[in-house]
Amino acid sequence: MRTFAKVLAVTAVAAIAVTGCGRSNTTTGGGAAPTSAPAVSDVPASGASGASDTSGTSGASGASGASGASGASGASGASGSSEPSGGSGAAAFPADALIGVALPQKTSENWVLAENLFKTDLAAAGFKADVQFANGGVSEQQNQITAMVTKGAKVIVVGAIDGSQLGSQLKAAKDSGAIVIAYDRLLKNTAAVDYYIAYDNFKVGVLQGKALLEGMAKKKPKGPYNIELFAGSPDDANAQVFFDGAMSILKPKIDDGTLKVTSGQKDFQQVVTQGWKAENAQKRMDALLTAHYTSAVLDGVLSPNDTLARAIITSVKAAGKPVPVVTGQDSEVESVKSIMAGEQYSTINKDTRNLVKDTITMLTTLQKGGKPDINDPKSYNNGVKVVPAHLLPPLIVTKENAKEAYANDPTLSPLTK
């Protein structure tokens, strides 16, 4: 659910560590995943099934994330996904209404881009914008949402730091008559959320798992392959979904002996990276190499995003070992450079411009009393209700298809020449 974003109006920002969600997402962006993985059709590493999701063209309003490939790790289809307030065509609000946007910490390129896009695009659509980062943590985000309610925001868009700790603030928002939209990360354990908009985060994990297998097969046609697994921060609802998507591809290969997790660390809680911090990933990779790879060769590493991928590669190079196949997500500038240089193997393109664009489309539809485009009404059970979702399709990017994938991206396209 980049160092200079990718929109002309964005001011320069320092390179900063990524949170999970992706350029949209990673934050890196899915959350309370139901219990069994939905059927997901094969998507080749070239991005054939989502090739339209290149920068600048992906996720156009209405772009389907294919509900069968939903970002929940199992469609619950439970009844209870009743039409939320604001979706029946009767709950229009003023065309110049205040829209609150509560974002997490300013720790990644994609979130910095989202901030600037929300400010400019909400104004262009005629709305008043209150866009806030919660750099102080969950308590600051709670206070910011409360302040948005007090100011009379008609819609509050929430990219949560921890989607399970905002229940009372979201209830107050709903009690005030506001519509609540979960952006990139699912809001969990609350009935006070109307819609969820994100890239299909389960499919992100599926693409990462497939890329890991394909990359290793290119280097060594036959297994077995030694791998290690990394996941994102456990307080980010998307981290489990990314991991579950990847493991839907990798676990059968672990079970049949094609893949060997040399450390034995296979469970989500064993492989999480607190805070999505590069230093935590690098420290863990250092320990894994020392304990398990003095003589064994590491063939591949499942990394959930680009910042962690680069930290893993740094660790391996510092140990004087060959760089394994390493996956990523977010299409960060430094990782695209690494991919083109033949080090990091893959990333995921989740164009933040399109996620914000579709969010604005949802807002304008709601303002007019219409029903927003929902392409997955069944899969996102947040523990209390099934939240209607609008999903955008992610795209796997390797060196082979990077030029096509970033053809319309003014920041990344030059890197692929």
Q: Along the 417 residues of the chain, how does pLDDT read in single tens digits?
A: 443 334 333 333 333 333 334 343 334 443 334 333 333 333 333 333 333 333 333 333 333 333 333 334 333 333 333 344 444 444 589 999 999 999 998 877 888 999 999 999 999 999 999 999 998 899 999 999 999 999 999 999 999 999 999 999 999 999 999 999 999 999 999 999 999 999 999 999 999 999 999 999 999 999 999 999 999 999 888 999 999 999 999 999 999 999 999 999 999 999 999 989 999 999 999 999 999 999 999 999 999 999 999 999 999 999 999 999 999 999 999 999 999 999 999 999 999 999 999 999 999 999 999 999 999 999 999 999 999 999 999 999 999 999 999 999 999 999 999
- The DSSP result for 275-325, as a single string, is GG-HHHHHHHHHHHHHHH-SSSPP-EEE-SSHHHHHHHHHHHHHTT----E
> At how many degrees (to 10) do helices 306-318 and 278-292 cross?
40
Which structure tokens are listed for 383? 């523990």
Q: Is the whole model's pTM more than 0.95, yes or no? A: no
Residue length, the chain?
417
Beta-strand pair 225-229/300-302: parallel
What span, in angstroms and rounded, lies between the C-alpha atoms of 64 and 70?
A: 10
CATH topology of domain 201-349: Rossmann fold (3.40.50)
Domain segments of the chain as ranges: 201-349
Q: Which residues contact 41 (CB under 8 A, 6 or more apart)?
A: 49, 66, 68, 69
